[in-house]
Structure 1
Amino acid sequence: MVFLSIFIWFPSSVNVSFASSSFSRSLLPEELGLKKQKLSHLHFYFHDIVSGRNSTAVRVAKAKMTDPLNEGPELSSKIVDLARGLYASSSLSEIGLLMVKNYFFTEGKYNGSTLSVLGGNAVFSGVREMPIVGGRRLFRFARGYARARTHSLDLQTGDAVVEYNVYVFHY
């Protein structure tokens, strides 16, 4: 089991002045080129392979490659995205992870765009829901949620295939 300790330092005093008009201003979305907001549904499979020569993740060190996100549950299906990030044990009562992931899309109209997920993942729950907290390019200002369901899990190796349905508002 991996334990993660994070120490955050906060200065004892912070001086922030809001009197200056150059510090902030109100903007209209159109000023940033933002058009009507859309809701998209994305569906893919996350391959978390921790065993063998072609592993995509290791427990505490750098992986040989990023985790592929595929159209189907087979590792041989078309790769549509790559995942980068980390997860750490976050529960003493269940197998729960804190997920910090970026999904890098490499196909279709979302090519070059990313989505960011930050939240808890109770691994043995049937369906887990994690928040989408942002993104890049076509997913700038993204917000929504990802629903994850384990498609397959090898308890001997720790290898897993996880199905994701992502619902995201974006411009």
Structure 2
Amino acid sequence: MAYYCSFKPSLLLLLFFIATSQAKDDSITHLHFFLHENDNRPNATAITVVNSTTSDPGGFGSIGIFDDEIREGSSVDSKLIGRAQGMAPEVSLSEMAWLVLIDFVFTDGEYNGSSLMVVGRATIGRPVERSIIGGTGKFRMARGYTINKLLSSAPAGRFIAEYDAYIVH
């Protein structure tokens, strides 16, 4: 027995209208900020909570947790605008690579009280692109991507990364 399904042209037109009208309501926001991480105790913002069983310190299987600062600039005295909170298990047997889950929580300025959830792979030595998979506040239902690059890792144990976030919300 064969089944036949037909759509009326008016139903197809209605579905097309709904799909295109949603896209017109979306806003696109570009944010530029700097993540500041400190691995030095006693004021560390990132720590390893699970050590690898491999011979390399911090190798495959290790898990780090962080609560880093988000600042307007690369200087440590630039304005604090939020926190980058998350975790990063090292996931590659062949290179230094992490699966990073970050919640960018904004605590000052226009986006105070809003957050962005970002997930993706990170490696060392080249710009990293990750997916924005959600958000809260002004970024509710967010999607998009971030690109970041490591600016410095000196003095030892301090890292500064520059971020560009392209957000559809």
TM over 0.5: yes
Distance in 1 (CA, whole Å) between partners of 2:29 and 2:92 is 32
Rg comparison, structure with higher value = 2
Distance in 2 (CA, whole Å) between partners of 1:58 and 1:104 is 19
- Counterpart amino acid of residue 101 in structure 2: V
Residue number in structure 1 paired with 2:120: 119
Q: State percent identity of aligned pairs.
A: 35
Q: Is the 8 A contact 1:95 1:124 kept in 2?
A: no
SS of residue paired to 2:49: coil
Distance in 1 (CA, whole Å) between partners of 2:37 and 2:124 is 13
Residue number in structure 2 paired with 1:91: 92
TM-score, normalisation: structure 1: 0.72
- Counterpart amino acid of residue 108 in structure 1: G
Distance in 2 (CA, whole Å) between partners of 1:156 and 1:107 is 29
Distance in 1 (CA, whole Å) between partners of 2:107 and 2:86 is 17
Q: Which has the higher strand share?
A: 2
Distance in 1 (CA, whole Å) between partners of 2:35 and 2:102 is 11
Distance in 1 (CA, whole Å) between partners of 2:115 and 2:72 is 17
C-alpha RMSD of the superposition = 2.5
1:160 paired to 2:159: yes
Which ranges in structure 1 are unaligned for 5 or more consecutive residues?
Answer: 1-27, 30-34
> Which runs of at least 4 in structure 1 moved beyond 4 Å after TM superposition?
none
Which ranges in structure 2 are unaligned for 5 or more consecutive residues?
Answer: 1-17, 51-63
Distance in 2 (CA, whole Å) between partners of 1:155 and 1:80 is 23
Deviation at 1:54, TM superposition (A): 1.6
Residue number in structure 2 paired with 1:104: 105
